[in-house]
Amino acid sequence: MSTQPDLLYSEEEEALRAAVRDLLTDHCDAADVIARCESDAPHDLSLWKALSDGMGLAGLLVPEDRGGQGATHREAAVVLEELGRAVAPVPYLTSAVVATEALMACEAAGELLAGLAAGRRIGALAVGLHLAPGAAFATVRLDNGALHGELTGIADAAVADVLLVPADDGGLYAVEADRVTVTPQTSLDLTRPLARISLHGAQGRRLGDAELAVRRALRAGAGLLASEQLGLADRSLTETVRYLKERKQFNRPVGGFQALKHRLAQLWLDVAGLRAAARNAADALATGEDADMAVAVAQAYAAPVAVRAAEEALQLHGGIGMTWEHPVHLCLKRAKADSIAHGTAGAHRETLAELVDLRAP
């Protein structure tokens, strides 16, 4: 390491956070998210429009000369912290990070990349959400210029305008969503639903090399997912602390009992660690320095913390936490799904074992 990573938030990043949080406070109420997630349209496309078209946030990772805002992963990470905190049902991670990164790895991305950056179009990389960077991914069959096959576990495909599909010739193809059959899968996380994609001879436009594009996309996705997990964990902790100061049993606030205080203090410590790891990953992706390592460390650490934060929130809210009406289940389902998304903590530990030369027996 030649320089220390910058692990803080700049003033501009804090201003960005405040703007996103304001928008979400007004337009992403938990009750609305719960009501929407069982409807035919679980995604909130008007919120997405406000974020992408209104605030220009879909193009943060894209250079200005390619139609974007020319910001970095550090700013996108701040946006994801806030979207994670609100469990917002928008395709930011999938379109503005993963699909965008895939396109940036391709020579022939041109107009499509600019369209995603401007928020005019939503893209989805047609690779299973569970896959870690570097993992083998399924492809479809290229036959006479037409694509045939079926891919499952594709996050946010239901709202995608264009799918980025890896084919068996090693290429990544842009396929218009209205040329394929997208079938929603009943998903654990209703706010980031998965879908099955069936291609029956759809035409695709070759963008570039799939292997390179997918690897780059999943690394950025995994690294910035840690910031979403940070937002989830921080919200779970903050809400639980607030509730336990109010909730009284045995004639005193429940938050005054030492058994609970110690659990929350330990959780706070773990969330502080997650913040450092997530900032480190975002900064490493932005500078390109030590990024494989920083992403693997963040992803090996983030999921257990975010899941435990949500599980503790549920337990410490008591019976109310078990109800559909209370938002704690939104955090729990997202946190648990995130623990598989872009590779489990265990998969990232295996990556680290190679990176730092601590090899298996």
Residue numbers of the site for another protein (CB under 8 A)?
1, 4-8, 241, 244-245, 252-253, 255-258, 261-262, 264-266, 268-269, 272-277, 279-280, 297, 300-301, 349, 352-353, 356-361
Shortest approach of another protein to residue 84 CB, angstroms?
18
User: Least separation, in Å, of the C-beta of 359 and another protein?
Assistant: 8
Nearer to another protein, 265 or 322 (CB): 265
Rounded to the nearest whole angstrom, what is the least distance from the CB of residue 17 to another protein in the complex?
Answer: 15
Nearer to another protein, 159 or 297 (CB): 297
CB of 256 to another protein, least distance (A): 4
In angstroms, the CA 268 to CA 336 distance is: 19
- Using the structure block, give the residue that is written with the tokens 């706010």: 191
Q: Which is nearer to another protein, 7 or 322 (CB)?
A: 7
The beta-strand segments (E) located in 55-176 are: 123-125, 141-143, 146-155, 162-166, 171-176
Contact 245, 255 (CB under 8 A): yes
| Separation CA 150–CA 182 (nearest Å) | 10
Element (H, E) at 62: none
Please state, in angstroms and rounded to a whole number, the distance separating the CA atoms of residues 36 and 346.
33
**Least Cβ distance, residue 85 to another protein (angstroms):** 17
Q: What is the nearest approach in angstroms of another protein to the Cβ of residue 2? A: 13
- Sequence-ordered strand ranges (E) for the chain: 123-125, 141-143, 146-155, 162-166, 171-176, 181-185, 194-203, 205-209, 248-249, 252-253
In the bound state with another protein, the residue whose beta carbon lies nearer, of 167 and 267, is: 267
Give me the least distance between CB of 260 and another protein, in Å please.
8
Cite the DSSP H helix spans in 124-257. Answer: 210-246
**Helix (H, G, I), strand (E, B), or coil: what is residue 176?**
strand
Determine the number of helices (DSSP H) and then strands (DSSP E) in the chain. Answer: 11, 10
For another protein, which is the closer residue by CB, 4 or 144? 4
Residues 113 and 263: beta-carbon distance below 8 Å: no
Task: Please say which residue, 8 or 35, places its beta carbon nearer to another protein.
Answer: 8
Nearer to another protein, 198 or 315 (CB): 315
At its nearest, how many Å lie between another protein and the CB of residue 315? 16
β-sheet with 123-125: strand ranges across: 123-125, 162-166, 171-176, 205-209
CA distances from 9 to 31, 57, 77, 93, 314 (A): 30, 17, 10, 20, 30
Q: Are strands 181-185 and 162-166 parallel, antiparallel or unpaired?
A: unpaired
Nearer to another protein, 34 or 284 (CB): 284
Considering the complex, state which of residue 110 and residue 318 has its C-beta at the smaller distance from another protein: 318
Least CB distance to another protein at residue 345 (A): 8
